[in-house]
Amino acid sequence: MHIVAFPDGEEIPESLTAYCGELILRGTAEALTKPCGMPCTLCLWRAPLPPPPSELPAGA
Protein backbone atom coordinates (compact mmCIF):
# COMPACT_ATOMS: atom_id res chain seq x y z
CA MET A 1 0.00 0.00 0.00
CA HIS A 2 1.35 3.39 -1.02
CA ILE A 3 0.22 6.76 0.31
CA VAL A 4 -0.58 9.55 -2.13
CA ALA A 5 -1.98 13.05 -1.84
CA PHE A 6 -5.23 12.69 -3.77
CA PRO A 7 -6.19 15.93 -5.52
CA ASP A 8 -9.50 17.68 -4.86
CA GLY A 9 -12.15 17.34 -7.51
CA GLU A 10 -13.88 14.46 -9.19
CA GLU A 11 -11.51 13.94 -12.11
CA ILE A 12 -8.81 11.32 -11.55
CA PRO A 13 -5.46 12.46 -13.00
CA GLU A 14 -3.47 10.34 -15.48
CA SER A 15 -0.90 9.62 -12.77
CA LEU A 16 -0.24 10.14 -9.08
CA THR A 17 3.08 10.06 -7.26
CA ALA A 18 3.25 8.33 -3.90
CA TYR A 19 5.23 9.93 -1.07
CA CYS A 20 7.98 7.35 -1.69
CA GLY A 21 8.29 8.48 -5.33
CA GLU A 22 6.42 5.55 -6.92
CA LEU A 23 4.53 6.65 -10.04
CA ILE A 24 0.99 5.22 -10.12
CA LEU A 25 -0.82 5.36 -13.46
CA ARG A 26 -4.59 5.71 -13.68
CA GLY A 27 -6.27 2.30 -13.78
CA THR A 28 -3.38 0.40 -12.17
CA ALA A 29 -4.36 0.86 -8.52
CA GLU A 30 -7.44 1.33 -6.39
CA ALA A 31 -8.23 4.19 -4.02
CA LEU A 32 -9.00 3.02 -0.49
CA THR A 33 -11.06 4.89 2.08
CA LYS A 34 -8.93 3.54 4.94
CA PRO A 35 -5.54 1.82 5.31
CA CYS A 36 -5.50 -1.81 4.25
CA GLY A 37 -2.56 -4.15 3.67
CA MET A 38 1.16 -3.79 4.21
CA PRO A 39 2.17 -0.11 4.02
CA CYS A 40 5.20 1.18 2.16
CA THR A 41 7.69 2.15 4.87
CA LEU A 42 9.12 5.06 2.87
CA CYS A 43 5.61 6.44 2.26
CA LEU A 44 4.95 6.31 6.01
CA TRP A 45 8.18 8.17 6.74
CA ARG A 46 7.49 10.89 4.17
CA ALA A 47 3.73 11.38 4.64
CA PRO A 48 2.86 14.63 6.43
CA LEU A 49 1.59 14.39 9.98
CA PRO A 50 -1.84 15.73 10.91
CA PRO A 51 -1.95 19.13 12.61
CA PRO A 52 -1.59 19.22 16.40
CA PRO A 53 -4.92 19.10 18.30
CA SER A 54 -4.68 22.82 19.09
CA GLU A 55 -4.87 23.58 15.34
CA LEU A 56 -7.84 21.33 14.52
CA PRO A 57 -11.07 23.11 13.60
CA ALA A 58 -13.82 23.21 16.24
CA GLY A 59 -15.93 20.07 16.26
CA ALA A 60 -13.24 17.89 14.65
Query: Going by C-beta distance under 8 Å and a sequence separation of 6 or more, which residues neighbour residue 19?
Result: 2, 3, 4, 5, 42, 43, 46, 47
Q: Is residue 60 pLDDT above 70, yes or no? A: no
| pLDDT for the residue 57 | 67
Give residue-wise pLDDT tens across range 11-54.
889 999 999 999 999 999 988 888 888 999 999 999 998 877 77
- Using CA atoms, how far residue 1 sits from 23, 53, 57, 59, in Å, is 13, 27, 29, 30
55 versus 43: which is more confidently predicted? Answer: 43
45 versus 8: which is more confidently predicted? Answer: 45
| pLDDT for the residue 8 | 85
Q: Is residue 3 pLDDT above 90, yes or no? A: yes
